[in-house]
Structure 1
Amino acid sequence: MGLQIDQQQILVAWKALSSTDNHEGWGVFPLYKHRNWSLLASYNLSEHEEAIFLDIKYSQTYESRISLPVAQGFRVQRFNEETRKGFALIRQVDGDLDLFTKIIVDVCNTIIQYQELNENKLVAVFINRINAWLSFMSKGGHELSQEAELGLIGELEMISSLISLNLPISEVLNTWKGPLDGLKDFEIGSGAIETKSTLSNQGFIAKINSLEQLDDSEKSPLFLNGYRFSLGSAGKTLTERINLIREQLNDYPAELTKFNNLLLRNGYLESEKENYTRKFKTEHTYFWWVDEKFPRLVPGNIAVNIRQAKYEIDLTPFINQSMDLSLVLQKLGIGNCGIN
């Protein structure tokens, strides 16, 4: 993966830059240099702002397509000067330094991981990784709860299942809408799949978080996917499951970048990976067609003045009505050649 930049390097560089005799402009300290770009620790001497600078000569035609991320406490600034061209990620006075440093370390090492990409693609990696962090922060910026961990395990199982059926990897990742706050976990073909997971060894209770979750009025057909997991030494941790998918994406750098960003948006931090010690073994897989006979609450079958609802469905009586994923994909209009 190349040279790793660590938190101590950046903090030492900022401290050295902030203690110079100059009182205006940007001070810079080189952290990593590639053929056509470099990463610099930066410090705004007049505004007392820490930053990281990606000094890179990307295409002018790409300029108008770049939308700069905005967040409270941080900003991304574009530089287009004779001496410097590229982007700075800057901590403003109200930004949390510890969190900012963690973001900087991750963004720098993500850039280094994909250093062989061309300049335009590397700028996209930089911007997309920052956007993923902003999404993570907007959801609380905390380690996954046990319930959220179980939910992510189920979605990863679904991704693995789709890849194992030889669907193009880029198309599989494009269907994964859960981390992007989609109403359904997977929008696939003409319809969608909503994934639920349980650790219960008897029956299957699905928690439905909104009236829209099982509504098929916009995406049809809709399927509810259930996974029953058990805990024990025969299973795999969340991180182990993530790494298995990463191995399948090794030859697809753009898809690997997207997968890692989706994980971060979902709340998975690489720096917290040692905390996920539970080992999950997949015991049973179910797929149910959510049609007019399926028990559900949706806007079309309740009183109009009911605006929100969370509820549970006991799917135990439907276990024998489960169908195979291959039949589900067929009903979604997907053949072996991929997603239409």
Structure 2
Amino acid sequence: METMSWKLMKILTALKTQNFPFLKTHFKNMRLEQLETQWKRIDNKEIEDGFHSIRISPDSIPDLYIGFDRGGLRNLILSIPKPHSFRFKGVAKQNLSIDYFEESNHIVIKLISSVYSDLFNDLILSLYKRICYISNAEDYGNELIKAFYRWSGFFTDYTTNGLTDDVIKGLFGELTLLKELVKQSDSFSIDEVLESWKGPYDARNDFESDTKCTEVKTKEETKTEVRISSEFQLTLTPDKSLTLCIVSVSVNHEDGLTISEQIDSVKELISERNGEMGILINALLQKGLFGASLPLYGHLKFKPMEMSFYDCSADNFPKITTLNITSGIFEVSYNLRISQLEEFKISQIKL
């Protein structure tokens, strides 16, 4: 890392005393738009030394700042009160770096590529929620360092060939169910809910918890059937129930959402419940749904209309599985006529 003798302490101490009326709200549940507003309020004119920066929140016990450096790059800056200090060498990953400035006693995480600005905001909010009420400097300093290593892999450049419209529609349906599950969760159960989303990892079922599996099928609202793509999708997992969730959507509706907007709405709910955003980010990265790739799918808009849930665990539920297929037959796909599933319906939600 480049060594810089920046007068950070002087700069940040002065900023700490400034009055920013927009920060007078309670920031325990800081949201993405609030953080982005703060970035816009920082004077980003050319500077010769240090940062143009602002303290994230007056509610935070640690002195945590966001700022632009002289290269116009975004930085997260943690001021460590003396006599506490940290001893580590700076680390530069592909699009993210961390360094410790001993003279001013600051730890700085720098975003090297602006392509990842949204993801950098997610990192900041996740860290802020973890440390805002921690008073021990060693504890919150170590949390920041751990956050860097926990998140740095997300800032790696991935190559993707793009996803088909049908795949995007399917992921939109999965996110629609995830959104409902997050709404029903609280700060104690939110991370478990996020961990249950297995669809992006190409698991057998789209959602799996300790006791239940759920397979999600997304269809246009006028369609009367759904496609089961293999004999494995509706095969029961031992000691777990299996539910089929059919999400009906209106395609290209004027009130529809792009998949990027749907992701943002899920992020907002996670933030409100103090969930670990990294769990969602890691799942989205499996499909390349981040940063510059998201605009590729901006032409697709979906309006969720309803979700219907069916009990696939029933013995007479119409399905082809590994247990009832004749030996030698494999890679089976088939359609299910929704009208024939009425007796197995568990519930229905209008969206």
- TM > 0.5 between the two? yes
Q: CA deviation at 1:200?
A: 5.9
Quick one: which amino acid aligns to residue 200 of structure 2? Answer: P
Question: Counterpart of 1:316?
Answer: 338
Match of 2:206 among 185, 199, 210: 185
Q: Is the 8 A contact 1:205 1:313 kept in 2?
A: yes
Give the direction of change, closer, same or farther, for the CA distance of 1:284–1:225 in structure 2 (3 Å limit).
closer
Give the direction of change, closer, same or farther, for the CA distance of 1:221–1:32 in structure 2 (3 Å limit).
same
Match of 1:116 among 105, 120, 128: 128
Question: Counterpart of 1:102?
Answer: 115
Give the direction of change, closer, same or farther, for the CA distance of 1:41–1:111 in structure 2 (3 Å limit).
farther
- CA distance, structure 2, for counterparts of residue 42 and residue 296 of structure 1: 62
Match of 1:278 among 301, 318, 323: 301
Q: Is the 8 A contact 1:235 1:281 kept in 2?
A: no
Question: Counterpart of 2:312?
Answer: 289
Question: Counterpart of 1:335?
Answer: none
Q: CA deviation at 1:217?
A: 3.4
Q: Is the 8 A contact 2:245 2:310 kept in 1?
A: yes
Give the direction of change, closer, same or farther, for the CA distance of 1:225–1:207 in structure 2 (3 Å limit).
same
Q: Is the 8 A contact 1:206 1:315 kept in 2?
A: no
Give the direction of change, closer, same or farther, for the CA distance of 1:193–1:39 in structure 2 (3 Å limit).
same
Give the direction of change, closer, same or farther, for the CA distance of 1:150–1:240 in structure 2 (3 Å limit).
same
Give the direction of change, closer, same or farther, for the CA distance of 1:265–1:125 in structure 2 (3 Å limit).
farther
TM-score, with structure 1 as normaliser = 0.59
Match of 2:240 among 217, 220, 223: 220
SS at match of 2:334: strand
Q: CA deviation at 1:267?
A: 3.7
Match of 1:298 among 310, 314, 322: 322
Q: CA deviation at 1:194?
A: 1.0
SS at match of 1:137: coil
Question: Counterpart of 1:202?
Answer: 223
Q: Is the 8 A contact 1:205 1:315 kept in 2?
A: yes
SS at match of 1:313: strand
**2:182 pairs with 1:169:** no
- CA distance, structure 2, for counterparts of residue 80 and residue 219 of structure 1: 50
- CA distance, structure 1, for counterparts of residue 39 and residue 282 of structure 2: 19
Q: CA deviation at 1:165?
A: 4.6
Question: Counterpart of 2:18?
Answer: none
1:248-267 superposed matches below 5 A:
248-256=269-277, 258-267=279-288
Q: What CA RMSD, in Å, does the superposition of the two structures yield over aligned residues?
A: 4.8
Alignment length (residue pairs): 280
TM-score, with structure 2 as normaliser = 0.58
SS at match of 1:108: helix
Quick one: which amino acid aligns to residue 122 of structure 2? Answer: T
- CA distance, structure 2, for counterparts of residue 321 and residue 69 of structure 1: 58
Q: CA deviation at 1:173?
A: 1.9
- CA distance, structure 2, for counterparts of residue 124 and residue 323 of structure 1: 46
**2:164 pairs with 1:145:** yes
Q: Unaligned 5+ residue runs, structure 1?
A: 17-27, 44-50, 92-99, 327-340
Quick one: which amino acid aligns to residue 318 of structure 1? Answer: Q
- CA distance, structure 2, for counterparts of residue 303 and residue 133 of structure 1: 46
Give the direction of change, closer, same or farther, for the CA distance of 1:217–1:243 in structure 2 (3 Å limit).
closer
Q: CA deviation at 1:235?
A: 4.3
Q: Unaligned 5+ residue runs, structure 2?
A: 1-33, 56-62, 81-86, 132-139
